[in-house]
Structure 1
Amino acid sequence: MQISRKNLDQRQDHIYDTIVVGGGAGGLSAGIYLQRYNLSSLIIDKGKARSYWMQELHNYLGLPPDTPGSELLKHGKDHYLSLNGDFLNGFVEDVVDEGDTFAVTTKVGRNNNSVYPVLRSKYIIVASGIIDQLPPLEDMQNVYEYAGYNLHVCMVCDGYEMTDKKCGFFAGSEASIEEMVFNLSWFTPYITIFTHGMFEINPQLRQQLEDHGYRIVETPIKQFLGENHQMTGVELTDGSVIELETGLISMGSKYHNDYLHRINLDYKGNNLITDKMGRTSHDRIFAIGDLKVGLNQVVVAAGDGALAATQIWRDIRNATPPRRWEENLFISEQLPVSSYQ
């Protein structure tokens, strides 16, 4: 059921089999599988998953290519609630390992009206994802006019959409250029790199980019240009305009995993290291989706959720004695031996 401040007290003393932090594609998939395994689960969602503002999911098997991410998430949440899972809109602030259980402190509500319930579970699935850093403009709404349409944040997801188009690569660091630009050239060679004046490019890399014909623009961006959510270029702070047909933002991301700071886990960079089922270095904490090492794909996150939930069910099932058919045992005890001959 949908949990709110009005009925929180009904769950304060309940110990869930699993609390899932994050209600994106991975978290919802995990929740659906947990409920179908007859386990008790709670999804705590801060709202606006990364996939929420993806306007068209062109690479999700079985869905029309113009399906928005928000529609996928709505159907996923409805499915989860139909299986009697609990769903709470809130922001997880802290997780404490109490031994057999985890204590999860969550902020519910905003500002002075917030409450901070502590909810408990045997397992945790962290599916809270990442928040992309966007070009820092005075009018950030101007970015959201085009982000998720033809202004992309994932080359693996949307490289095909940029094939042979004039592409603006909006970089947040020199490292992002080294990591992404030459891979982006697989899809299009018509690349203009924008640094927004935030960092310098070393001479060797600059020469390498120029040798491939890629343009470098270091003047800050004033605004994106376009109409009907289709970006057609950028205006720079000096008044000049550069025409584009598409764009890829790679300015960095914030990993939403601060609530795990009390727990010693193994990381590779900012990503949690897991086994093939999503188990981290803590045997009762699983990581899925963007927080783990691997591809940042909606369909991959959904698969991660299924794997993590399945492994948790296996753990709990293996620690639980098989159920007995008591009525049949009683009947068998009453029957004479000849009845079995």
Structure 2
Amino acid sequence: MELTGFCGNGDLISHHVYDAAIVGGGLAGLSAAIYLGRSRRDTLLIHSGHSMAKWEQDVQNYLGFPDGISGNDLLTRGFAQVRRFGVEVADDDIHALERDREGMFQLTGLAQRYVARRVLLSTGLTHVPPDIPGVKDCLGKSLFFCKDCDAYRVRNRSIVIVGRNNESAEYALSMLLFTSQVLICTNGKTPLWDTAHAGWLAEYSIPVTHRSIRSISHDDGQISAVVFDDGESLSTHAVFTTRGDVFHHDLAEQAGAELDEEGQITVDHSMRTSVPGLYAAGCVTPANCQMIIAAGQGATAGQAINRDLFKEDLRRHALPRVEKAKPIEAHCL
């Protein structure tokens, strides 16, 4: 489908109009693209290569991979599957999104502009690691953000939780199912957990230190100790941090979509936002940030977008269809 119009100098311009544009090439975006491609929708997947799945060295809780798989390998397989079903993939960074009076979405990237009837935002989030020397080398290897993803891999080992809020306290308490060696470090800050959480920490004898961390000692990403400002060190095998998340919701906000108090994009059961034709899926929504959950949300969004386009085409009396094949003529030999 082509959209034509006039630019400021009077020249006629034309834009290809996609049925759907997906912004974000993580598990949610790839899953939606597969469903839309298989539904024979003219689909564009735009990504900038920043999926947090790349941080995961060994994904052990994604169905179908009993021996685990790296996040990078999972993404590589996903992109191959997307291309198999005819989805166009663009390497670009979208920085502006608006819905025009005709209901079309205008997406502006660093490379070019795009137009689509429907848009899915699967822009995800970024976990904020502690600003401590040595941390970045250990990401996804022995420093983790998600207990649901990674507590199992550090069972029966010593664990330090870096944080000072209720979530930090709950991380430490939940780790007791995996190990007896758990400590909370507030990294020089005053604890913010409430009275109830303080009581539970005392009840289950979770040690807490308020010392500041100078650095993380490690061997090729495998943590061996936490080094404090006073020079003392604490031997440990893993660190979990609960510093916080940055939700990549700027495009949704530009388009006028509702956000919740934490900055996540509000969606309904079909992944629809408050803006007609705009969808969101994955870790940028209030769902638990798990790869397999993101993929499931992407599938839900892909199916919902396809249904939405189908109903619109019926209303417009513009239902696309395969052209009739010419009849085969029989010839006598």
Band the TM-score falls in, shorter-chain normalisation: 0.7 to 0.9
Q: Which residue of 2 aligns with 1:119?
A: 114
Q: Which residue of 2 aligns with 1:114?
A: none
Q: Which residue of 2 aligns with 1:334?
A: none
SS in 1 for 2:254: coil
TM-score, normalised by the number of residues in structure 1: 0.82
Q: Which residue of 2 aligns with 1:148?
A: 140
Corresponding position: 1:311 with 2:314: no
Q: Distance between the aligned counterparts of 2:149 and 2:66, measured in 1?
A: 16
Higher alpha-carbon deviation: 90-99 or 224-233: 224-233
Q: Which residue of 2 aligns with 1:263?
A: 255
Q: Distance between the aligned counterparts of 2:252 and 2:100, measured in 1?
A: 14
Which runs of 5 or more structure 2 residues have no equivalent in the other structure? 1-12, 328-333
Q: Which residue of 1 aligns with 2:231?
A: 239
Q: Which residue of 2 aligns with 1:286?
A: 279
Aligned 1:199-210 pairs, distance under 5 A: 199-201=190-192, 204=195, 206=198, 208-210=200-202
Q: Counterpart of 1:119 in structure 2: which amino acid?
A: Y
Q: Which residue of 2 aligns with 1:274?
A: 267
Q: Which residue of 1 aligns with 2:52?
A: 50
SS in 2 for 1:302: helix
SS in 2 for 1:120: strand
Q: Distance between the aligned counterparts of 1:272 and 1:256, measured in 2?
A: 9
Aligned 1:1-341 pairs, distance under 5 A: 13-99=15-101, 100-108=103-111, 117-137=112-132, 139=133, 142-171=134-163, 173-201=164-192, 204=195, 206=198, 208-269=200-261, 270-321=263-314
Q: Which residue of 2 aligns with 1:335?
A: none
What is the CA-CA distance between 1:246 and the residue it aligns to? Answer: 2.0
Q: How many residues align?
A: 308
SS in 1 for 2:138: coil
CA contact (8 A) 2:62 2:68 kept: no
SS in 2 for 1:58: coil
CA contact (8 A) 1:94 1:260 kept: no
Q: Distance between the aligned counterparts of 1:68 and 1:325, measured in 2?
A: 40
Higher alpha-carbon deviation: 251-260 or 230-239: 230-239
CA contact (8 A) 1:220 1:237 kept: yes
What is the CA-CA distance between 1:79 and the residue it aligns to? Answer: 1.8
SS in 2 for 1:19: strand
Q: Counterpart of 2:188 in structure 1: which amino acid?
A: G
SS in 2 for 1:300: helix
Which runs of 5 or more structure 1 residues have no equivalent in the other structure? 1-10, 109-116, 332-341
Higher alpha-carbon deviation: 173-182 or 217-226: 173-182
Q: Distance between the aligned counterparts of 2:56 and 2:14, measured in 1?
A: 35
Higher alpha-carbon deviation: 222-231 or 200-209: 200-209
- The change in CA–CA distance for 1:98 and 1:203 in structure 2 (over 3 A counts) is closer
CA contact (8 A) 2:249 2:264 kept: no
- The change in CA–CA distance for 1:208 and 1:304 in structure 2 (over 3 A counts) is closer
What is the CA-CA distance between 1:12 and the residue it aligns to? Answer: 7.2
TM-score, normalised by the number of residues in structure 2: 0.84
Q: Counterpart of 1:94 in structure 2: which amino acid?
A: A
What is the CA-CA distance between 1:206 and the residue it aligns to? Answer: 4.7
CA contact (8 A) 1:26 1:288 kept: yes
Q: Percent of aligned pairs with the same residue?
A: 24
Higher alpha-carbon deviation: 50-59 or 237-246: 237-246
Q: Counterpart of 1:33 in structure 2: which amino acid?
A: Y
Q: Deviations over 1:27-85 (max 9, x none)?
A: 11111111111111112212221111100010111124341100110111122123222
What is the CA-CA distance between 1:309 and the residue it aligns to? Answer: 0.6
Q: Distance between the aligned counterparts of 1:145 and 1:63, measured in 2?
A: 26
